[in-house]
Structure 1
Amino acid sequence: MSTAPVKLAIGDAAPAFDLPTAGGGRVTLEELRGAPAVIWFYPAANTSLCTRQACDLRDNHQMFLDAGYRVVGISPDPVEALDRFVAEQDLPYTLASDESHQTMAAYGAWGEKNMYGRIVEGTIRSTFAIDAEGELTLVKYRVGTPKHIDLLRTTLAL
């Protein structure tokens, strides 16, 4: 069994990261500075709940842009799987690959979870908002997919 995951809180500094993205680029926390961002961690591209969450974010992407937010999704998928996900679902925001799970662990989004009655280690569906200075303004672990957009709309006053 692994150690207890990190639990971040509002007001904490967002952990730094540097990850490869769909389309061949990279995304870093430093690059996101200067504007707010929403970072969401999800278990796997092209699975039912993750696709629903990704498409909800796609369908509401303009709301985030209008408020100045950049949206970044992070999963343990390899970049090739993210490229397919972006193409198949027409996703307009950045998807990043964290195959090593280091960024997910730094955010507390990797660890033990109950999956169909079994304890497994994996991605804990989580969402964070970061202000322009890199401070966390929203921390939500175990995000419910159907309520994800409403949570963001209400909490971030979008």
Structure 2
Amino acid sequence: METFHEQMMFGDSLSVFLPNDAKDVSEIREIPDNQEVFTHSQMDQSVIFEILEYVKEDSHQQAMRTHFEDVCLSNEVGEDSEIITIEAVPADRIQMEHAKCVWYLKGCQRVAKFNEDAKNTVEIHMALFRLPQFDSDILVTFNNPLEI
């Protein structure tokens, strides 16, 4: 059974529980100040925590789509992406006191690493914590490779 530890992030402003096998990517390479990135030492999974500027859209659902499209752009996936579901997280499941609402997205991307020709199929799970009072969004992205 996998065990977990509390990981402090962003200068001890936030904490999460991660598997003990999770490795802090900032120990390997430089990570922007607005991100915390962890990989699993035995799987090719990763989780990224980002503090971003609040996306002003007509709906929270559209803000979630905008963040997904930004990740697709960063990963250079072009048209090789799909949103499977977007849904609001029920208020009784939200544990971040300042979050006005939280949205969940499940998607898929076919992405090449390091300019390779072959593309990996990666299942994407995203949680968007909306913090309009701080003009911020917190985006959590879990990448789960399905086919490498």
Q: Does TM, scored on the shorter chain, surpass 0.5?
A: no
**TM-score, normalised by the number of residues in structure 2:** 0.30
Larger Rg: 2
- When you count helix as a share of all residues, which structure comes out higher? 1
Higher relative contact order (CA 8 A, sep 6+): 1
